[in-house]
Every structure is written in structure tokens, then in C-alpha cells.
Amino acid sequence: MYVFRGIPVQAKDTTALTIGNFDGVHLGHQAMLVRLKEAASQLGLVSCVMIFEPQPREFFTPDQAPTRLSSLREKLELLAELDVERVYVCHFDLNFASISAEDFITHILDRGLAVRWILVGDDFRFGALRSGDCAMLKASSVQHGFEVVEMPSYALGDLRVSSTAVRESLVKGDLELTRLLLGRPYSISGRVIGGDKLGKKIGYPTANIQLRHNRPPLSGIFVVKVYGADKVSPRAAVHGVASLGVRPTVHEDGKPVLEVHLFDFEKEIYGCHLRVDFLQKLRDEEKYPDLEALTRQIGHDVENAKTCFLRSPLLVNVNNIS
């Protein structure tokens, strides 16, 4: 997969395109990408995805924007796994937000990307003040030589699959529903960075995972699988227990931290890029009266997580189902 920053002035290849935030790359997004690749293959076009960084609501109303499900790197990794040929990452700033719907069609879709087939969701809007919609695209399609296909919402039973639904399931700690919506366990990836080494001092050393956003979509204590810790076999999973939260017993700054204690693992992994799959929530984060009480609870969490793996074969074997 090739990743481009911005849109070229003049396209060299004709393309099939879909546009969106693709936050979380859930089953609805995956269905769009399957349709995109099918059309690109049938028509001899290059399959392309356009995304925005930051996401538009993060630019316009950063304090009210929804919590991110995936960082840019995580999103690109997921798109690569789904065999998209190209991703265009558009820097969303005031200049980009000011592009009229007409200029978006002419300069970006037609000239910049030579779009011949475009797939959009049923709520798609584009251009300054969100003035463009699917009807406008269809009205312009003959002039600019592209076909417009509208993708209906994707549903599991009566539940519409959306990034909002994924966020809601994460807030509730319903990781099984989250897995169904995503087609895989929810994960956070990041580099192992130095911490205060408190875990090592109390007998439970942890890997401190760098968070790309200060508002993770879930919090608490979790049963996890970690990938990337074994340098010899990076695809091998290591079982563990993770704490994601503000650590109220030992800190008062309110900054979220993701710490993972890996079972039966003693290798040096500073600087490694790990992916943490969240499989089951054990409990909410709590504040304890002292370090001794916290240490006892961590011991219980470790034993409970190990018991989950022993009693739940499906938990051990859970993996991507997309």
C-alpha cells in the first residue's frame, strides 16, 4: 500500500475512490473497502481511500470531538491489511475546509485523482460548510466522467455498525460487542517508553505504552494479548493484564497511561512497538488507600486474568475475524 500526503495537482492513473474518517475501520468500513476493491478490479482502476488528519471535528471543535478509536498509524496499518492500494492523507486545516464543493469535485476528484468510480456512505457530505452531498456528486458525474455509488449503512441485526456504536460499547466495557462491531478485538498500539518503574518495585513490572491521544475510548483493568514483544516471533501473542487509566492511587495529574504486565516474560522491550488487544474487562479503575492495598489488588488482577485464559479457550484463540 502506498501512502500519500495530500492530493497531486494532476493524476497519472485513473482511480476508484472512497472517502471518510475510517476511525476504527469497523465492519461497515470493511464492507465499503470490499466493494471498492471489487469495482477497481472489474474496471481496471487503482483502489484508493481518502482520509483526513486531523479529523474534521477535531479541527473545528477539538474539545467536543469524539474520542479517537485509532491513531493515524493504526488506521493505516488496518487499511494495509485490507489490501487497499493507495491512501491519500489530506491535512485538514482552514485552507482545506474552505474548498468549495464545486472545486472539490473539479480539482481533487477529477484532476488530482482522476476518479472514475466513487463510493460514499449514505450520510456523506463534502466541501466548505458541508454543502456537497451524494446528489451533487451524481449531478456532476456525467460532466466529470465518474460513476457514483451510494453504500447503505451496515448493520448487525438491528444495530447499525458505526464508530459511535464502537465507542459506546467500549465505554460500557462490552468488549465482546466491540469485537463483533470491529471484526477483531479492539487494540491500541504504541512504543514502549520509560515510566516510573513502580510496577517493578512492587513485583509486577509493566511495559508503559505510549498513547497517541489523551482521551482513550476505554478505561479500567483488562485481560489482554500483546503482539510485538517477542522479537524473534513478532506475530506471537503474549498474555497479560493491562491497566488503562489515570492511576489515581499514585498520581494526581489525570493523564491516562497504558501499562501492561506480561505473564512469564522477562525480555527487554524498551523501544519496541507493541499492539495490545483488549479481550475482557476485569474491573474499573479504583483509588486505594496505600501502595500495599494497590499491590494486593494487582495480584488479584493477575490471577483473575490468568484464570480467564485457563477457563476460556475462545479467549485464548480469539483473533481477527475480518
Average pLDDT over residues 136-145: 94
> Which of these ranges, 29-38, 42-51, 165-174, 213-222, has the smallest mean pLDDT?
213-222
How many CB atoms lie under 10 A from the CB of residue 111? Answer: 16
pLDDT reported for residue 277: 97
pLDDT at 311 over 50: yes
pLDDT at 290: 83
The verdict on whether omega for the bond into residue 54 sits within 30 degrees of 0, i.e. cis, is yes
**Confidence at residue 232, expressed as pLDDT on a 0 to 100 scale:** 72
Domain boundaries, the chain: 2-156, 185-317
pLDDT tens-digit map of 229-239: 877 777 889 99
pTM above 0.85, yes or no: yes
Band (pLDDT 50/70/90 cuts) for residue 319 is: low
CATH superfamily placement of domain 185-317: Riboflavin kinase-like (2.40.30.30)
pLDDT, tens digit (0-9, with 9 covering 90-100), for 141-158 = 999 999 999 999 999 999
**The CATH number fitting domain 2-156, selected from 3.40.50.300, 3.30.1240.10, 3.40.50.1580, 3.40.50.620:** 3.40.50.620
Q: Over range 3-20, report the average pLDDT.
A: 96
Predicted confidence (pLDDT) per residue in 74-103, tens digit: 999 999 999 999 999 999 999 999 999 999
